[in-house]
Amino acid sequence: MSRRSNVVSVGLCVLSLGAIAGTAMAEDYPKHFEQDLISVCKNAAENDRMNMHQAVQQITLGRKHTGPTYRMLGEGLRCNGMNLAAFADYYGATDTYQILKRYSIDTRIEIRDIQVSRLPPEHIQVSFVSPQ
């Protein structure tokens, strides 16, 4: 019985450390990583699929498959307060939105004028939220 309680204690400790580390990562990541995240947001808003994919590959480093990275970014990356797919959609970037919506959980409903076109902002603030 004590072995089982030790395993449970260690498991809870690891989970709590993971939550703390995830929160710290969201607030204190290296400057070059922040630039990579901004690049992903900017290319998504500019409807530039090729450069967005290259920016995601920069984050993935050394892995052939970028799907898990897209999933992580789709669930956790916030560009000016919006998730990545919503950010691309907001700026009318239909091509990148089609890619990103597969990796995002979208819980909003929006009615918008099709004629409205927006330019991506000069300054983009990013944050990363660890998936729950």
pLDDT tens readout for residues 34-86: 999 999 999 999 999 999 999 999 888 777 788 899 999 998 999 999 999 99
Instruction: Give the per-residue pLDDT at 104.
Output: 84
Residues 66, 17: Cα–Cα separation, whole Å: 26
Strand ranges of the sheet holding 126-128, from the earlier edge strand across to the other edge: 82-83, 77-79, 126-128
| Mean pLDDT for all residues in the chain | 78
User: Where do the domains of the chain lie?
Assistant: 2-128
Instruction: Give the per-residue pLDDT at 105.
Output: 76
Q: Is the pLDDT of residue 21 over 80?
A: no
Residues 38, 64: Cα–Cα separation, whole Å: 22
